[in-house]
Amino acid sequence: MIAFLGKTLGQRIQLSVLYGCGSLLAIFYILFPTAFLEKPSPKIYFLNYYEAGQLFWLAPVFVAFVVAYYIYHVVLEYGRANSPGRNRARYLLFSNLSGYLLALTAIPLFYNIPLDPVWSLFSIPFFTLPLAYAIFKYELLDIRIVAKKALLYLLAVIAVGVVISLLNYANNLVMERIGGFPVWVFPFLSSIVAVVAGIFIWRKIREGDVLKYEFISIVTHKFRTPLTHIKWSTENLIAKNSISGEDREELDKIRQSNSRLVELTNILAVLSDTEERGALDYAYRKERIDFCQFVEELIDVYAPSYKEKNITVHVSGLEGVINISADAAKLRFVLETLFENSIVYTGSGGSVKVEIVKYKQKVRFSIKDNGIGISESDMGKMFGKFYRTRAASHEDTEGFGIGLYMSKNIIKRHGGLIGVTSSGVGKGSEFYFTLPIE
């Protein structure tokens, strides 16, 4: 569940501790089963129902702690997130709380409290349905990847279930025919089968991640070589005295575009590396930046493009000095992505408003246009990897849908938030992000 919030890397130690405690608890109950459950007895309309052992209470307490830990992070995410992020948090919070509370109804009868445990069955739909809806609507998971891997994992789970069932059958058979046979042997074997199956599935998932990482690394390496040759050739041509002024300007544009491609390749490689190995601080070279001046310089760069489409640009909040700590190249990529999108998806004769607002210890940048807009159903997916709306695909057939995804990662690494608002298709949109001030 923590993976749905994108916090797996940041919570590795905490998650490892929880998994370790859970494993130790499971091993303890396997070795000393009567401490967990005693012999069943008739209760309500059940001929045989579980009887709590002396240490049974450890299991629900541990589960309650895990649920509380998860809810704590969901609430934190809700407080920091934008509108689509808060909707995701609501569904996650509701599914977890409702599923857990309903599941608790199975426990009172363990202690001879006459509460019908059949209510606990409702925990399954109350947990899975809101979660499934959130996954499809807000892309908590990559559905295409899940669909491809689901069949393999389902077959693996079925196979493990069959093996464990056979072991349980063998256990009952042996216990009936051989007196004094240790009761822990077959449960211990069952746990080994479950652990081996878990390791197998985990390794298969990791193999896919490693292949993805290696593919992107190879591609970015192959890009760097020709881009370096282009840079050298362009600089050699510019250095020649025989080049006319007009040709020199065109070559300079080629050099600048090539530099941007090099930066994009480097950013893609870094993001791939941080996804595979964790967000490492050395990948970002932060420095003090005057944010207002930084934005103003980029507006000047894109002014000809706005003029070419007859787009009116309104700017506010660039007065004064607002210092931030940021990686200039990566922050430039974010701003370039937003400026370029406003040019591409705003029609000729449209308008764009760029605004910088300082509040408390944060600075908010926003760029608002009256372009193609975004539907409500697409709003929560705009920062997904390779995601593009139909309207965007129609306006720009060469886009890949990775710019906003990369921008989200960059802003998050800078301790900020990024989001989007829109009144609907054809009604424009506003992209914004916040960053902490030095």
419: pLDDT strictly greater than 60: yes
Query: Distance between CA atoms of 214 and 212, rounded to whole angstroms?
Result: 6
Of residues 343 and 263, more confidently modeled: 343
φ, ψ dihedrals at 87, nearest 5°:
-65, -40
* pLDDT for the residue numbered 145: 46
Which amino acid would we find at residue 84? P
Over residues 305-325, the pLDDT tens digits come to 899 899 999 999 888 888 999
Summarize the confidence of residues 409-420 as an average pLDDT: 89
> Is 383 found in the same domain as 310?
yes
Task: Count CA within 13 A, CB hemisphere, residue 261.
Answer: 18
The percentage of the chain sitting over the pLDDT mark of 90, rounded to a whole number, equals: 13
> Is 333 found in the same domain as 367?
yes
Task: Count CA within 13 A, CB hemisphere, residue 336.
Answer: 15
Over residues 205-235, the pLDDT tens digits come to 666 556 655 666 666 666 766 777 787 788 7
Summarize the confidence of residues 41-65 as an average pLDDT: 84
Summarize the confidence of residues 15-32 as an average pLDDT: 80
Q: Would 400 be classed as within a structural domain?
A: yes
Of 275, 262, 282, 258, nearest in space to 221 by CA: 262
> Is 228 found in the same domain as 97?
no
φ, ψ dihedrals at 137, nearest 5°:
-75, -40
Of 148, 60, 139, 75, nearest in space to 105 by CA: 60
Q: Would 227 be classed as within a structural domain?
A: yes
Summarize the confidence of residues 417-421 as an average pLDDT: 90
DSSP tag of 112: T
348: pLDDT strictly greater than 50: yes
* pLDDT for the residue numbered 143: 45
Q: Would 196 be classed as within a structural domain?
A: no
Q: Out of 283, 317, 334, pick the residue that ends a domain.
A: 283
Query: Distance between CA atoms of 399 and 388, rounded to whole angstroms?
Result: 8
> What 3-state class would DSSP assign to 382?
coil
> Is 99 found in the same domain as 65?
yes
Over residues 126-156, the pLDDT tens digits come to 877 777 776 666 555 544 444 445 555 555 6
352: pLDDT strictly greater than 60: yes
Q: Would 347 be classed as within a structural domain?
A: yes
Over residues 26-44, the pLDDT tens digits come to 788 778 878 888 887 888 8
Helices 12-31 and 58-80, axial angle in degrees (round to 10): 160
120: pLDDT strictly greater than 50: yes
Q: Would 206 be classed as within a structural domain?
A: no
Q: Would 200 be classed as within a structural domain?
A: no
Helix (H) or strand (E) holding 207: helix 185-239
Q: Would 198 be classed as within a structural domain?
A: no
Burial of 158 (0-12, 13-18, 19+ CB in 10 A): exposed
> Is 294 found in the same domain as 275?
no
> Is 428 found in the same domain as 297?
yes
Summarize the confidence of residues 409-414 as an average pLDDT: 88
204: pLDDT strictly greater than 80: no
Task: Please give the structure tokens belonging to residue 152.
Answer: 């393999």
* pLDDT for the residue numbered 7: 54
Q: Out of 122, 141, 160, pick the residue that ends a domain.
A: 141
Summarize the confidence of residues 320-348 as an average pLDDT: 90
* pLDDT for the residue numbered 256: 76
Summarize the confidence of residues 267-283 as an average pLDDT: 53
* pLDDT for the residue numbered 213: 59
> Is 381 found in the same domain as 270?
no
* pLDDT for the residue numbered 359: 84
> Is 375 found in the same domain as 359?
yes
* pLDDT for the residue numbered 102: 87
Contact 50, 40 (CB under 8 A): yes
* pLDDT for the residue numbered 432: 94
> Is 277 found in the same domain as 322?
no
Q: Quick one: pLDDT band at residue 368, thresholds 50, 70, 90?
A: very high
Q: Out of 237, 268, 283, pick the residue that ends a domain.
A: 283
> Is 372 found in the same domain as 259?
no
Summarize the confidence of residues 377-391 as an average pLDDT: 74
> Is 409 found in the same domain as 315?
yes
> Is 325 found in the same domain as 236?
no
Over residues 188-203, the pLDDT tens digits come to 666 676 667 667 766 6
Contact 356, 435 (CB under 8 A): no
Which amino acid would we find at residue 173? L
**Residue 114 structural domain:** 2-141
Over residues 281-294, the pLDDT tens digits come to 446 788 999 999 99
* pLDDT for the residue numbered 280: 42
Mean pLDDT, rounded, of the chain: 76
Q: What is the tally of structural domains in the chain?
A: 3
Q: Would 147 be classed as within a structural domain?
A: no
* pLDDT for the residue numbered 377: 77
Q: Which of 241-255, 260-274, 330-344, 407-421 has the lowest mean pLDDT?
A: 260-274
Query: Distance between CA atoms of 123 and 120, rounded to whole angstroms?
Result: 5
* pLDDT for the residue numbered 363: 93
Instruction: Tell me the sheet residues that pair with 432.
Output: 366, 419
* pLDDT for the residue numbered 142: 47
Say which CATH number the domain at 421 has: 3.30.565.10
